[in-house]
Amino acid sequence: MSTMNLTLLTDLYELTMMQGYFKNNCNETVVFDMFYRTNPCGNGYAICAGLDQLIDYIRRLSFSDDDIAYLDSLHLFEDDFLEYLRGFHFSGDIYAIPEGTVVFPREPLVKVVAPIMEAQLVETALLTIINHQSLIATKTARVVYAADGGGVMEFGLRRAQGPDAGVYGARAAMIAGCIGTSNVLAGQLFDVPVKGTHAHSWIMSFPDEYTAFRKYSELYPDACCLLVDTYDTLKSGVPNAIRVFTEMRESGIELKNYGIRLDSGDLAYLTKRARQMLDEAGFSDAFISASSDLDEYLITSLKSQGCKIDSWGVGTNMITSRDCPAFGGVYKLAAVQDENGNFIPKIKLSENIEKITNPGNKTVFRIYEKADHKIKADLICLADETFDDTKDLTIFDPLETWKRTKLKAGTYELRELLVPVFKNGKCVYTSPSVMELRDICSKELDTLWEEHRRLINPSQMYVDLSDQLYDIKKNLLHQMSM
Amino acid sequence: MSTMNLTLLTDLYELTMMQGYFKNNCNETVVFDMFYRTNPCGNGYAICAGLDQLIDYIRRLSFSDDDIAYLDSLHLFEDDFLEYLRGFHFSGDIYAIPEGTVVFPREPLVKVVAPIMEAQLVETALLTIINHQSLIATKTARVVYAADGGGVMEFGLRRAQGPDAGVYGARAAMIAGCIGTSNVLAGQLFDVPVKGTHAHSWIMSFPDEYTAFRKYSELYPDACCLLVDTYDTLKSGVPNAIRVFTEMRESGIELKNYGIRLDSGDLAYLTKRARQMLDEAGFSDAFISASSDLDEYLITSLKSQGCKIDSWGVGTNMITSRDCPAFGGVYKLAAVQDENGNFIPKIKLSENIEKITNPGNKTVFRIYEKADHKIKADLICLADETFDDTKDLTIFDPLETWKRTKLKAGTYELRELLVPVFKNGKCVYTSPSVMELRDICSKELDTLWEEHRRLINPSQMYVDLSDQLYDIKKNLLHQMSM
């Protein structure tokens, strides 16, 4: 992806609308918000991710001669518009919540302030990129939470929805707390740890399992993880592994970072028995790694049965977010700038009250409890509103407005979540490395109460509107219904 | 993807195993089969897809200086092995079932016959590519079947799992019968029809809905599809669309290829009312297009309620195959060539009898009923077996061997499904265009009985083993259990 021109990675209607704006000479500056309505997988929060790839996409936006020729071949676009596209580049502003941040429904994760033709063009790719990585990061945070300190390795490339899904999915999984990935290209692109040993085919290509193990141990004495389930885990695999570990010890090799991997069978029963066999043979520091259709629920269930698993290789269910394979991010017009430079709020109605958009040029503040730095609530407000945290602050639920909370001065702290990423088409933001994002994300997760992290039916975080924003929304709804 | 070096798009263990084979001087020729065990989404078959991208990947396989430097930085690989990788290219044979073909569980979709180091390296990317496109093609075939002649448009890019998932997902969806995609890049890359009109933001950026519609109709009089659900579908959207269509007709424009699109609300109720309103206004040839969380089940349900929808825009649920977002293709060692050139069959055991692999260097024949060219069964056999369709043929179920069927000479036809794709590292196959594959797939689907196409609980196709293959498998199992 990083070397490809993705300018045409867009829905056709973005281009037909662009031509419409072009022909009508309307290219006023507008505000679009990218936000989502429901946390994936029944989670209590999401982790936003993908901003670095979005930046890359915006920077490279330009129509090549081939692109123009292709669009011309569709017989939909006129010469003057195609000529405009030839010189196209993004000239607007973009604000975003940094990657690795804990986020909640309805708050803008990305805000685009740009001439409408530009803001419209970038909709589709922006959604594709942010939706995908935020989905996998959120799913991974659940899996890592279930592993409860055990390492989680991302092993899903072969079942990912195409190469990008494997590579950028691995990136998102690393941000959200994996200790490594099997994906070598992701390792190269993002400088993250790569993990892996051998497959059943290695075992099967030798005359017997013992020989296969021994050959492997000779080659990788410092990272000797033996796959024990090719023939019979307890009768053949573990005994052969113990035989090889014993020979290694007897030949004077200092055993460290060694162990076994299981990829099938009943992982609770087999790992308890294997642990016992390894311990009895004097290999109590050998690790046990497991894979096989794992997800956050199976990990929780296996742990509740006392399985002896030190690290988890998670594939299909994490790289596809199997129980919820799409993050429902949307991109909605929120305001149009008038000739005086004022942003006129716009609203999208819906029969479903939760689907009505929040109008205006907005930002998001996070309110922390000062005492423990846990999140108290998020506050969506107009971009030019200011709050003084040396004074009391009253927040209220935008749907059930009688639910009010008064925050006493000095007990809370405010942080604006949206930061400038592009200004007048220039990137003004430097992305941290993926391993730095992993640290940031880990600290972010610490700002949540356990009640928000529970895998099933977690507490929902309050995301409130400021008084000013609430009034604008109410008035617009009133006008529309007249 | 097509311009990127994907050589490192592999699991680390493929490379550690390669070095293992290298260091042990074992690089004998082996046979690996790529196959799957269960049809996705409870379907009665799958559509295989992705071969053209696999060919591209294999052709471009080579380690760049950067790749070698990266691998060196991992401190896992020795200089002589890295030197070998520098000169690496694929030198083996690949056989595959052509794209767009109807396939069934347990039959090899791709067979790699190559020195084990090469066959091992390509495992991961081969699976990623074929799994992804076969998944989306199969899901799409279900959606297209439900639409029962109504056009299905692929609208999922913004919810796809990354750019590749959008682009190659659109490709697979076109192969399986979509009439177009919103994805412009897919249109450019694969020369397939692109579709789309405008979004709610177009309506909202004008002072009122009528003006927005009128402006759009002036620009695109020959493809005037108006989105009617921004404010109120029946009270505002459809009346304004009728007003604009009336003005177009009055101004002498010949109305053709025009209509409305709905993206929310109760699509059965709203389209029945909208159809009535359009008909009463004299626009009975205006089409009605609908989108909004569609899948094969909702389409079936809406049709059963008499909805008036001519074409369907299907997004998230199809591009992610939401109810089953992974195609479980695997890649297993089936045989190792000995010094005399004979292929020695290999088998992978499992406690689950259905997970035991089929050993040997194999191929697949499809048996058609001569009278109607419907599929009777598939037959997996050894690659060098021959069958004479002028003689009777008895086939039997490999698990329930007492289930036998005798096919009388002259009543059936045989077709070998696997075709050569690479010979000694050279590509010997020319991929049809995507629109040609769409025709091939359509004819393939005609070889299925309706009973195999039913969306829920379809009949399962027989996939049998030849007598020779069955005996080899039985004997290997017997040896292993001694």
| Mean per-residue pLDDT, A84-109 | 98
Q: What was the pLDDT predicted at B307?
A: 98
All residues of chain B having their beta carbon less than 8 Å from the beta carbon of residue A329 are 158
pLDDT in tens, chain B (482 residues): 445 789 999 999 999 999 999 999 989 999 999 999 999 999 999 999 999 999 999 999 999 999 999 999 999 999 999 999 999 999 999 999 999 999 999 999 999 999 999 999 999 999 999 999 999 999 999 999 999 999 999 999 999 999 999 999 999 999 999 999 999 999 999 999 999 989 998 998 898 999 999 999 999 999 999 999 998 999 999 999 999 999 999 999 999 999 999 999 999 999 999 999 999 999 999 999 999 999 999 999 999 999 999 999 999 999 999 999 999 999 999 999 999 999 999 988 776 777 889 999 999 999 999 999 999 999 999 999 999 989 999 988 877 778 888 999 999 999 999 999 999 999 999 999 999 999 999 999 999 999 999 999 999 999 999 999 999 999 998 887 75
Residue A121: what residue type?
L
Write down the mean pLDDT value for chain A: 95
Nearest-CA distance A460 → chain B (Å): 24
Do strands B180-181 and B224-227 pair parallel, antiparallel, or not at all (unpaired)? Answer: unpaired
Contacts of A149 (CB under 8 A, 6+ apart): none
Which among B467, B449, B345, B447 is positioned nearest to B395, based on CA atoms? B467
**Interface probe, candidates B1, B128, B202, B338, chain A, greatest A C-beta count within 10 A:** B128
Residue found by looking up tokens 């550690």 in the block: B16
Count of other CB atoms within 10 angstroms of residue A436: 13
- Please state, in angstroms and rounded to a whole number, the distance separating the CA atoms of residues A156 and A166: 7
All residues of chain A having their beta carbon less than 8 Å from the beta carbon of residue B19 are 219
User: Are residues A416 and A368 in contact, defined by beta-carbon separation less than 8 angstroms?
Assistant: no
Q: What was the pLDDT predicted at B402?
A: 80
Residue found by looking up tokens 């796809």 in the block: B160
Count of other CB atoms within 10 angstroms of residue B386: 7
CA A88 to chain centre: 30
User: Are residues B133 and B168 in contact, defined by beta-carbon separation less than 8 angstroms?
Assistant: yes
- Please state, in angstroms and rounded to a whole number, the distance separating the CA atoms of residues B330 and B334: 12
H helix or E strand, kind and range, residue A303: helix A296-304
Contact state of B125 with A163 under an 8 Å Cβ cutoff: yes
- Please state, in angstroms and rounded to a whole number, the distance separating the CA atoms of residues B144 and B475: 44
| All structural domains of chain A with their residue ranges | 12-136+325-480, 197-292
Domain A197-292, classified CATH 2.60.40.2470, yes or no:
no
Any idea which fold B12-136+325-480 has?
nicotinate phosphoribosyltransferase (3.20.140)
Q: What was the pLDDT predicted at A1?
A: 43
| Mean per-residue pLDDT, A412-416 | 96
All residues of chain A having their beta carbon less than 8 Å from the beta carbon of residue B17 are 198-199, 201-202
Contact state of A129 with B30 under an 8 Å Cβ cutoff: no
- Please state, in angstroms and rounded to a whole number, the distance separating the CA atoms of residues B29 and A214: 22
Give every strand in the sheet of B29-35, ordered side by side.
Answer: B343-345, B330-337, B29-35, B110-115, B93-96, B419-423, B426-427
Q: What are phi and psi of B217, to 5 degrees?
A: -65, -30
All residues of chain B having their beta carbon less than 8 Å from the beta carbon of residue A123 are 158, 199
> What's A36-69 look like in SS3?
CCCCHHHCCCEECCCHHHHHHHHHHCCCCHHHHH
H helix or E strand, kind and range, residue B53: helix B51-60
Q: Examine the pLDDT at A3 and tell me if it is beyond 60.
A: no
Contact state of A196 with B16 under an 8 Å Cβ cutoff: yes
Which among B184, B27, B22, B44 is positioned nearest to B91, based on CA atoms? B27
- For residue A378, the cross-strand partners are A366, A463
Q: Which chain B residue has the Cα nearest residue A132?
A: B161
B23, B123, B325: residue with CB nearest A325: B325
Contact state of B187 with A70 under an 8 Å Cβ cutoff: yes
Contact state of A157 with B348 under an 8 Å Cβ cutoff: no
The encoded tokens of residue B381 equal 């056999």
Query: Could you tell me the end-to-end alpha-carbon distance of chain B, in angstroms, rounded to an integer?
Result: 49
All residues of chain A having their beta carbon less than 8 Å from the beta carbon of residue B157 are 9-11, 124, 128
**Interface probe, candidates B5, B7, B13, B352, chain A, greatest A C-beta count within 10 A:** B13
Contact state of A216 with B116 under an 8 Å Cβ cutoff: no
Q: Which chain A residue has the Cα nearest residue B3?
A: A4
ipTM: 0.96
User: Are residues A333 and A30 in contact, defined by beta-carbon separation less than 8 angstroms?
Assistant: yes
Nearest-CA distance B328 → chain A (Å): 7
**Measured between alpha carbons, how far is residue B454 from residues A155, A477, B44, B147 in Å?**
34, 46, 7, 13
Q: Which chain A residue has the Cα nearest residue B154?
A: A11
Helical axes A238-250 vs A209-219, angle rounded to 10°: 40
Helical axes B434-445 vs B163-175, angle rounded to 10°: 50
Contact state of B162 with A128 under an 8 Å Cβ cutoff: yes
> How confident is the model over A254-302, as pLDDT tens digits?
999 999 999 999 999 999 999 999 999 999 999 999 999 999 999 999 9
| Mean per-residue pLDDT, A329-352 | 90
Half-sphere exposure of residue B33, counting CA atoms within 13 Å on the CB side?
A: 27
- Please state, in angstroms and rounded to a whole number, the distance separating the CA atoms of residues B232 and B209: 10
Do strands B29-35 and B102-103 pair parallel, antiparallel, or not at all (unpaired)? Answer: unpaired
Q: What was the pLDDT predicted at B2?
A: 45
Nearest-CA distance B35 → chain A (Å): 13
All residues of chain B having their beta carbon less than 8 Å from the beta carbon of residue A187 are 8, 12, 70, 74
- Please state, in angstroms and rounded to a whole number, the distance separating the CA atoms of residues B96 and B49: 10
Do strands B311-314 and B287-291 pair parallel, antiparallel, or not at all (unpaired)? Answer: parallel
Q: What are phi and psi of A390, to 5 degrees?
A: -90, 0
Residue B208: what residue type?
D
Contact state of B182 with A13 under an 8 Å Cβ cutoff: yes
- For residue B33, the cross-strand partners are B111, B332
